[in-house]
């Protein structure tokens, strides 16, 4: 099954990105409000330009049954709610000029929502129940149904076009690119 092979082949790349300080600081013994804000800023700095590219492929995505739901506005609004100015980094997502890379980015971005449930629990302890979690808060049943549908459509597209290996390589490359972007974001946050 393609989804299982994809997960196995990309696991080392996933684990490396997950262990980056920006993520791991939220899973440490004493995460802080600053850690959560840094996490949100990093997500915004990466997702904002990526989403602009993804939206250029919206029609093609819809033709293969994939609906992309924006999360950048939720990120931006939550940062503003925290009295933070959403910031951007100098980032050219030209590597996303092909459809396979766009599918890979959606796979990474939407797949990261699995970890959002855990991060949300941690963030609620840090930020308190009064804080409105616009980026991480989501209906789990809806998410898992959407994820299942995305994976079905992704697998159908990739296997129909015999792109399994190319897609896996694209996802591995994207994980590495995200790692470089995390490093760049960390540098802007003086870490």
DSSP string, 143-173: HHHHHHHHHHHHHHHHHHTT-HHHHHHHHHH
Residue 190 has pLDDT above 80, yes or no: no
**pLDDT digits over 132-153, tens only?**
999 999 899 999 999 999 999 9
Range from 23-32, 64-73, 158-167 carrying the lowest mean pLDDT:
23-32
Homologous superfamily of the 17-188 domain (CATH): Heme oxygenase-like (1.20.910.10)
Q: What is the pLDDT of residue 148?
A: 96
Q: Which residue has the higher pLDDT, 167 or 117?
A: 167
Domain ranges within the chain, ordered by starting residue? 17-188
Residue 90 has pLDDT above 80, yes or no: no
């Amino acid at each position: 099954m393609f989804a299982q092979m994809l997960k196995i082949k990309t696991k080392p790349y996933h684990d490396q990105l997950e262990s980056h300080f920006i993520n791991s600081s939220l899973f440490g013994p004493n995460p802080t409000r600053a850690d959560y804000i840094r996490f949100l800023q990093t997500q915004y700095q990466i997702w904002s330009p990526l989403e602009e590219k993804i939206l250029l492929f919206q029609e093609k995505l819809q033709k293969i049954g994939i609906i992309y739901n924006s999360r950048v506005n939720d990120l931006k609004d939550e940062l503003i709610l925290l009295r933070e100015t959403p910031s951007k980094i100098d980032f050219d997502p030209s590597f996303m000029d092909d459809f396979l890379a766009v599918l890979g980015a959606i796979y990474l971005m939407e797949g990261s929502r699995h970890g959002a449930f855990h991060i949300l629990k941690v963030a609620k302890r840090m930020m308190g129940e009064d804080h409105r979690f616009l980026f991480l808060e989501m209906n789990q049943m809806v998410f898992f149904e959407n994820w299942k549908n995305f994976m079905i459509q992704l697998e159908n597209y990739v296997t129909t076009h015999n792109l399994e290996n190319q897609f896996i390589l694209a996802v591995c490359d994207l994980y590495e690119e995200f790692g470089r972007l995390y490093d760049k974001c960390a540098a802007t946050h003086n870490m």
